[in-house]
């Protein structure tokens, strides 16, 4: 009786398991090596396509046979809500697939921002819709300016995330990181943060999961990058938590330099155009 009571007490004290991270894996009935076809081989071509348990780590976006929107939203949610689990076990894969994910995420996020800015402009300037309706020149100018600005913002956001991911690899190398080359995939899949935490993503979250879920996701645009970076440095590069925090800060500095240079060039270009 006493043994059973102590076991119940221990089970009640355990932290509930987060099963959402299991969206990252597929467990096929039979796993064979992609190179030689031998089911006993643990992977002779790719670095770690399988392990001894026969479990293959697959990011939802990279799963065949799953709907586009489902793959997109599942991957973005995992990268944001479960950033530590997702980026701490980021599997190897094709960079072009991650790039397509990043471009889709940032395009949708920027379109949502543009829609919000447009609605705000109509509230602040009630006469704007009438002007756009009756002035074809103004309408074309606004359309071209909006399209060009949106395209530049999409490319800038993807580039910023990619630079940050590669900076993590570079910073880890200075602290003895053991694995390289996945930083770029980290940065590209990190674009999922913007899809979930910017206005359109928060609106979708509120509709699909409720206001409480949207309130939970709102601050993750600020907290998820640090959590993901440290988890990536610990899980992928084998750094200690203390060293991972140092490397993450160094990577942030590496990322700031090209961003500040780009902003400076942009300011000078605008100033020159206005002369």
Give how far Cα 249 sits from Cα of 139, 181, 234, Å. 45, 19, 14
pTM of the model: 0.74
Q: What is the pLDDT of residue 132?
A: 81
What are residue 57's DSSP bridge partners?
Answer: 25
- Residues 37-61: tens digit of each pLDDT: 444 443 443 334 433 333 345 799 9
CA–CA gap between residue 232 and residue 244 (Å, rounded): 9
CB-count exposure of residue 262 (10 Å: 0-12, 13-18, 19+): middle
Residue 81's nearest CA partner among 221, 187, 191 is 221
- Helices (DSSP H) in the chain: which residue ranges? 2-13, 68-81, 83-88, 95-124, 128-134, 136-174, 183-189, 192-197, 199-209, 211-217, 220-235, 241-274
Q: What is the pLDDT of residue 270?
A: 60
Residues 92 and 47: beta-carbon distance below 8 Å: yes
DSSP letter assigned to residue 25:
E
Torsion of the alpha carbons at 35, 50, 241 and 169, rounded to the nearest 10:
20
Phi, psi dihedrals of residue 91, rounded to the nearest 5°: -80, 160
CA–CA gap between residue 146 and residue 111 (Å, rounded): 10
Give how far Cα 268 sits from Cα of 109, 179, 256, 275, Å. 28, 39, 18, 11
CA–CA gap between residue 252 and residue 189 (Å, rounded): 17
Q: pLDDT tens per residue, the chain (275 residues)? A: 444 454 454 445 444 444 444 445 444 444 444 334 444 443 443 334 433 333 345 799 998 888 999 999 999 999 999 999 999 989 888 899 999 999 999 999 999 988 888 888 888 888 888 888 888 888 888 888 888 889 989 999 999 999 999 999 999 998 887 766 789 999 999 999 999 998 888 888 888 888 888 888 888 888 899 999 999 999 989 899 999 999 999 999 888 887 787 777 767 766 665 56
Among all chains, which residue has been given the structure tokens 């602290």?
A: 175
Q: What is the pLDDT of residue 135?
A: 83
């Amino acid at each position: 009786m006493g043994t059973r009571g102590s076991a119940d007490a221990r089970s009640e004290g355990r932290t509930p398991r987060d099963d959402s991270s299991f969206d990252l894996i597929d467990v096929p009935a039979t796993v064979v090596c992609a190179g030689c076809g031998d089911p006993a081989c643990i992977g002779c071509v790719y670095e770690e396509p399988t392990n001894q348990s026969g479990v293959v780590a697959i990011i939802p976006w990279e799963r065949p046979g799953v709907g586009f929107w489902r793959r997109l939203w599942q991957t973005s949610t995992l990268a944001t809500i479960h950033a530590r689990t997702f980026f701490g076990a980021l599997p190897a894969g094709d960079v072009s697939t991650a790039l397509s994910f990043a471009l889709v995420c940032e395009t949708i996020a920027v379109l949502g921002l543009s829609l919000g800015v447009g609605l705000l402009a109509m509230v602040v300037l009630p006469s704007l819709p009438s002007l756009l309706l009756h002035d074809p020149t103004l309408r074309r100018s606004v359309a071209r300016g909006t399209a060009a600005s949106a395209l530049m913002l999409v490319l800038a956001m993807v580039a910023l995330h990619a630079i940050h991911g590669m900076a993590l690899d570079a910073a880890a190398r200075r602290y003895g990181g053991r694995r390289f080359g996945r930083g770029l995939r980290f940065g590209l899949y990190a674009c999922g943060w913007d899809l979930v935490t910017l206005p359109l993503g928060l609106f979708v979250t509120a509709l699909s999961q409720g206001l409480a879920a949207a309130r939970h996701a709102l601050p993750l645009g600020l907290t998820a990058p640090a959590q993901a970076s440290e988890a990536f440095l610990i899980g992928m590069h084998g750094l200690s938590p203390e060293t991972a925090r140092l490397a993450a800060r160094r990577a942030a500095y590496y990322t700031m330099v090209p961003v500040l240079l780009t902003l400076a060039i942009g300011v000078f270009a605008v100033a020159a155009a206005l002369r």
